[in-house]
Structure formats: structure tokens, C-alpha cells
Amino acid sequence: MRLAVVSLAFSVADGIPWQDRIRRIIPLFMATERDMHIHILGICGTFMGGIALLARAAGHRVTGCDSNVYPPMSTQLTEQGVELVEGYGADQVALDPDLFVVGNAISRGNPLLESILERNLPYVSGPQWLAENILRGRWVLGVAGTHGKTTTTAMLAWILEEAGLNPSFLVGGVPQGFGVSARLTDSPFFVIEADEYDTAFSDKRSKFVHYLPRTVILNNLEFDHADIFTDLAAIETQFHHLVRTLPGNGLIVANAQEASLKRVLARGCWTPVEWFNGAEGWQAGAADDSGGFELSLAGKSQGRVNRFELAGAHNRANAVAALAAARHAGVPLAVGRKALESFSGIKRRLETRGTVRGVTVLDDFAHHPTAIRVTLEGLRHKQGSSRILAVLEPRSNTMKLGVMNEQLPGSLAEADAVFCYADKLGWDAAQTLAPLGDRARVFDDLGALVAAVAAAARTGDQVLVMSNGGFGGVHDKLLAALAT
């Protein structure tokens, strides 16, 4: 049976001690719908894979299809009993599910989608299904922004977990402490990565307008997703659509360094705002040798995080935002600070994949120039003088369009050497990276790239692989080449 949660009936500002508040908000559940067979199109994307896990946890039979099946999502799904079909054959309508859930990677012309439309079969977008079947009535905590969504969402879920709130969550990656990207519990709290990308072929609003959060983090806002947005102003409009859905007893935690976010809120805001990364708001101090930092509010100390594994000022800012959002849900700062000390990060976010002959291969999801820059800066701060060999696949739709080319060389400044995979890229990567001189090399053959990296690497080097896809299994290929 699908479970629906009744609405919360009190404010966190009512002065009730946080332990008593937790006990008072245990939700009432009621069965509202029979178990269904759901078939998900685009199931191996991080978001749609999370939808699949939530639907399974809610008691539904889940099947799905995709043209690009690779770990860690494919592993998660099969382990949870989700049946996967390779490709989008029209014959999948014969599975006769109660409902098709369509991911935003599916476009008109897709054989299965066309068959669904021609036969007038029931379908819905992933965000709409999630909103109507899982999120309704829950206290939703959303994390939005161009960068840092996955890490901040995972931090926030971890803080609530360590506080005993047992949150449900949907993260665009796999948090190390949880081992899955999504889970459903009987808690009223649901933490979600609130993505600005479009909803589906039939709904061009951003995903996050469906979620109706009570607490929201606005991490940052830059131009991205050039395949669907014409300029930054278009994305700011979508963010203001999100702001318009927030209740007056909610909270916005926003980055004071972002002029774009200030423009969004200046359009109209009906919800209290707490700023971070500014002198009048929440701030993280410099990191000590164990990564720990001082937390302050308007210049006054709010205690220390004594140990913090994630490198870089951007991750300390993410942590501060997560602490402020968790505080709105009733978690004391002392509890939140302690939780961060045991947060171990996200798969594919500076994740060590292996070390061979003293050479460490790291995996990171960075694909926007800003994310590439801050990832390299964080690694440089952590590793000091060790050489960094950056291995880059410009794979996102925005990068493939070449609209970020001018920013790309500068974003790689901290790398001692750059190896770029430019197969079917559509623009001249060698010309774009020419400002880096001999530090940059471009390849259209993956095997040649692997051989070049292995030949260049020496003991103590950090090989940082950056891509938002599987990158042809390059991590394992590099480790194998280094071992020979």
C-alpha cells in the first residue's frame, strides 16, 4: 500500500524541546492506494533510480528501462529487486504496467514513449509521481543550486539521521554513510536534492517546483543547462517559482555571496531568510589540520566542528547551510556539529577508487567549470605539493554545446597536467585548452588516454577523474594500466 502522511500541525518556533517535538510529530499513516506495477523510463539516472527505490519501499512492483546502464545505480536497483530492461523498445508496453513514469532524459521520438502516447496509456513525470505519492504531507527539506546539491543534501540527511529523526531522502548520488541514494521511512521528514533541470518532455518547469518544501537551501546560482535555458535570467525565474511555493512558516537558507540569489529573492519573498557565507549570517572559519572549523553567526561563535573529512571552503559552506536547515527542523547546533564529524562524503565526490604503485585514482562528478575549479582547489589544499593529473570528460549537455569553453582553462589552473577525452565532442578541445600550453593533452581514443596517464604518473601523484557519466570505466582501466 502507498502511505500518505498527514500534515504537520505546529511550528518549530513554538518553544517545545526538540526531543519532545520529535515525539509529537510521528505521523499518522493511512493506506490510500493499491500496490501498483510501475515501469520507469530512464531508470538508471540518479533521480529516476531514486524514484525506483522509493516506489519499491512503498510496496510497488517496479520495472524500468534505460540505454545506459552502469554502476553504482544499476547495482543498487538490482539489489533492491528492480527488474531492468536494456533499451527503449516499443514492445515493453506488453509488460502492461499500471503506470509509466517518464524521466526527463526521454524525448519525443523515443520508441517506447511514442507507443505509450499512441495507445493513450497512463504516464506521469518522475517529480509529479514523487510529489503526489511520497512527499505530500511530509516536512520536505530541499537543497537547490547549481553546485553542491548532492553533497549538501547528503549532509543534511546525515545530520537528521544522527539526531534520531530517521529521515527519508532522495540524493543525486550515493552517500557513503547510507549506501543508497534514496530511502523511505516512517519519519515525517524528507530530504531531497532539488534540481532545476526540467521535469519531463511534457513539463518544462524545473523539477523542484513539484516538491513544495518547507525548508530550502539555495546554495548558489550560475548559468548551466544551456540545452534548456537561454540565459541566467531564465534560471532565476525558475528559482523564483520555487520561492513562490514556500510557506510563511518555512525557511530559506541562502548564500550571501550570490548576487543571482539576491535578485531572485528581490522579486518577492514570503518566507524568512537566513544567509550564510556573509558577515551578517552563518559562516565557517578556516580549516585546521583535521579539517575542523569554527561555526559563527553574525560574527559570534556557535561552537566548533572538531573534525571534517571534506576538503575545500565550498564544502565547509555546504556544511554551514546544512546545519542551519537542520536547526529549522529542530536539531540543536551541538547535535548537528557532532554529526558532521562522522560524515564521510558521497560516492563520486573525490572518492578514492584505488592506489597502485603510490598513485591514487580519484573519481569526481565535477563537469561545470566552477565545480571543476573548486574540486581541484579542495584537492590541492588537502594534498599540498603532490602533483594532480586531471582527467576530464566534458560530457554534460552544457559542456558539449561549448558555451563554457572560455571558463574551462582557468578552472583547471590547479592541475599539473590535464588529459581531456574529446571523442564526439563537437568543438576543438585542443584549441580551447591551448592557454594551458604543454600541461594539456587531448585524446579521442580512450585507450590512448589511459596509456598516456599511466606513463605520466609517478609515485605520490593524485589522478583526478572528472565526469558526470561512466567515462567508459576509465577508473578501473587506469588502475589496471598502473599495475602493469
Q: How far apart are CA 179 and CA 156, in angstroms?
A: 15
Residues 272 and 328 in one domain: yes
Residues 322 and 177 in one domain: yes
The dihedral of CA 473, 474, 475, 477: what is its sign?
Answer: positive
Residues 61 and 181 in one domain: no
Residue 411 lies in a domain: yes
Mean pLDDT of 278-307: 92
The yes-or-no verdict on residue 1 having pLDDT over 50 is no
User: What is residue 263's predicted lDDT score, i.e. its pLDDT?
Assistant: 97
The yes-or-no verdict on residue 402 having pLDDT over 90 is no
Residue 9 lies in a domain: no
Contacts of 324 (CB under 8 A, 6+ apart): 217, 251, 253, 274, 276, 282
Say which CATH number the domain at 240 has: 3.40.1190.10
Tens of pLDDT, residue by residue over 118-143, are: 999 999 999 999 999 999 999 999 99
Residues 120 and 249 in one domain: no
The yes-or-no verdict on residue 421 having pLDDT over 60 is yes
User: What is residue 301's predicted lDDT score, i.e. its pLDDT?
Assistant: 95
Say which CATH number the domain at 109 has: 3.40.50.720
Q: For residue 365, what is its C-alpha cell?
A: 562528478
The yes-or-no verdict on residue 28 having pLDDT over 90 is no
Residues 394 and 285 in one domain: no
Residues 360 and 301 in one domain: no
Residues 41 and 82 in one domain: yes
Residues 199 and 336 in one domain: yes
Tens of pLDDT, residue by residue over 369-387, are: 888 888 898 888 788 889 9
Q: Single out the residue in 340, 375, 409 at which a domain terminates.
A: 340
User: What is residue 16's predicted lDDT score, i.e. its pLDDT?
Assistant: 53
User: What is residue 2's predicted lDDT score, i.e. its pLDDT?
Assistant: 36
**pTM for this entry:** 0.76
Q: Single out the residue in 110, 128, 146 at which a domain terminates.
A: 128
Contact between residue 452 and residue 476 where contact means Cβ atoms under 8 Å apart:
no
Q: How far apart are CA 440 and CA 391, in angstroms?
A: 10
Residue 17 lies in a domain: no
Mean pLDDT of 249-269: 96
Residues 315 and 390 in one domain: no
Residue 25 lies in a domain: no
Mean pLDDT of 266-288: 94
Number of H helices, E strands in the chain: 16, 25
Q: How far apart are CA 6 and CA 171, in angstroms?
A: 24
Q: For residue 99, what is its C-alpha cell?
A: 503506470
Tens of pLDDT, residue by residue over 146-199, are: 888 899 999 999 999 999 999 999 998 788 888 888 999 999 999 999 988 889
Q: Between these two residues, 259 and 368, which has the higher pLDDT value?
A: 259
User: What is residue 226's predicted lDDT score, i.e. its pLDDT?
Assistant: 63
**What is the chain's Cα-based Rg?**
22
User: What is residue 129's predicted lDDT score, i.e. its pLDDT?
Assistant: 97
Q: Single out the residue in 319, 340, 361 at which a domain terminates.
A: 340
Residue 147 lies in a domain: yes
Tens of pLDDT, residue by residue over 313-322, are: 889 999 999 9
User: What is residue 280's predicted lDDT score, i.e. its pLDDT?
Assistant: 87
Residues 478 and 358 in one domain: yes
Residues 142 and 119 in one domain: no
Question: Taking all residues of the chain, what is their mean pLDDT, rounded to a whole number?
Answer: 88
The model's confidence at residue 427, banded by pLDDT at 50, 70 and 90, is confident
The model's confidence at residue 223, banded by pLDDT at 50, 70 and 90, is confident
Residue 11 lies in a domain: no
Owning domain of residue 456:
351-483
Q: Which of 72-76, 217-221, 372-376 has the lowest mean pLDDT?
A: 72-76
Total tally of structural domains belonging to the chain: 3
Say which CATH number the domain at 407 has: 3.90.190.20
Residue 89 lies in a domain: yes
User: What is residue 13's predicted lDDT score, i.e. its pLDDT?
Assistant: 45
Residues 293 and 188 in one domain: yes
User: What is residue 220's predicted lDDT score, i.e. its pLDDT?
Assistant: 86
Q: Between these two residues, 101 and 74, which has the higher pLDDT value?
A: 101
Q: Which residues pair with 101 in a beta bridge?
A: 40, 124
Beta-carbon count within 10 A of 346 CB: 25
